Structure 1
Amino acid sequence: MYQATAQPSPRTETSGSRRRLSPDAAPLFAYGTLQFDAVLEALIGRIPQQVAASAPGWRAASLEGRVYPGLVAAPGSVAPGVLFIDLSRREWAILDAFEDDRYDLHEVTVASGGRGLAYIWPDGEVLDGDWNAEQFRTSHLEEYAARCARIAPGLLARAAH
């Protein structure tokens, strides 16, 4: 199992420079809605190769007024997720266009010695409770995936620029 370190590494060429991913973009650590096949199929048209992962020192926090979470620092917590290891540049660009502009993209080190990128929620609107993936699945996934399918063509156009 892969595990990301508790703190983001110092700014790199890709961290903080949204919409300008480096040519060698690392794997993506996903801890929220991107863990669901229906969302991935709607956005990029396939399910990328993935491995189970977790991020110690982080939690997938519920956010006020949103059905998706934000990854926030939380000593003693562990955020479960997956690491996508075969995203193309085009797919990365689509997912980056999809993510809320409030997120910061940061590199995280993986226990195996590798690296990955994660969308970190900077601050504000963070609730005390952790995001509940099963509750999302039962209450929001179908509508959320349908919305993703509706906006995917626009994301593809944004990603092409």
Structure 2
Amino acid sequence: MAPPPAAAVPAAAAVDGGAHNVFVYGSLMTDEVVRTIIKRVPPSSPAILPNFHRFNVKGRIYPAILPVQSKKVAGKVITGVTDAELHILDEFEDVEYVRRRVEITLADTSLTMLADTYVWADAEDPNLYGEWDFEEWKRLHMKDFLAMTNGFMDGLEQPESKSRVETYQSFMQEIQHPGTTTTTQVEI
């Protein structure tokens, strides 16, 4: 059975009022990254997103999810996210993702609930492969990712800020080739 259709929302779209639940499955599973982006750590619970798969993305250290029958993604749901915070998350996820409303299952209680999540925008992307590993990411990339995220958040307040993708590419280029800051695509 295919997952129920969910409307895709461009990442920079306006949101309606109220608190939001957001299912996270990658870098946003760490409190440090969430705190850097929205300046607090909302309550969260372990959760499962059925009928999706978490992929590695060639040239990126963060994952992508797409609908895949009979697969599931372990993550967590962040609750009580405000409209303003959701807007910041939309900016952070940038053009690579679209926000979708999905049904998740709380891991501790098996109750289901609706949550927003960020799905990879290009369902036919040939750069998606394998399965992304959160523990490996924490061990190998979290420190650099936090530094990049801090740079993005600092730049977001500037009149001519870079997108998160541009910030990421510049940051990774500088790590791999110190002294050369460009926005070329890097393969890692």
Q: Which amino acid aligns with 1:16?
A: V
State the SS of the aligned residue for 1:27.
Answer: strand
Q: In 2, distance between residues paired with 1:152 and 1:91? A: 13
Correspondence for 1:106: 100
Check if 1:34 corresponds to 2:33: no
TM-score by length of structure 2 reads 0.72
Q: Tell me which of 3, 6, 28 is aligned to 1:7.
A: 3
Q: 1:157 deviation in Å?
A: 6.4
Correspondence for 1:128: 129
Q: 1:139 deviation in Å?
A: 0.6
**CA RMSD between the two structures:** 2.2
Structure number with higher relative contact order (C-alpha < 8 Å, ≥ 6 residues apart): 1
Correspondence for 2:148: 147
Q: 1:156 deviation in Å?
A: 5.3
Contact (CA 8 Å) 1:60, 1:72: kept in 2 or not? yes
Q: Report how many residues are paired.
A: 151
Q: In 2, distance between residues paired with 1:90 and 1:156? A: 14
Percent identity over the alignment?
A: 25
Contact (CA 8 Å) 1:9, 1:106: kept in 2 or not? no
The structure having more radius of gyration, on CA atoms, is 2
The C-alpha deviation readout for 1:37-69, integer Å capped at 9, x for no partner, is 121122122211101101111111101111000
Q: Which runs of 5+ in 2 are unaligned?
A: 106-110, 160-188
Q: Which runs of 5+ in 1 are unaligned?
A: none
Q: In 1, distance between residues paired with 2:104 and 2:6? A: 15
Q: 1:149 deviation in Å?
A: 1.1
Q: Tell me which of 11, 16, 20 is aligned to 1:22.
A: 16
Residues 45/77 of structure 1: CA separation in 2 closer, same or farther (3 Å cut): same
Correspondence for 1:44: 38
TM-score by length of structure 1 reads 0.83
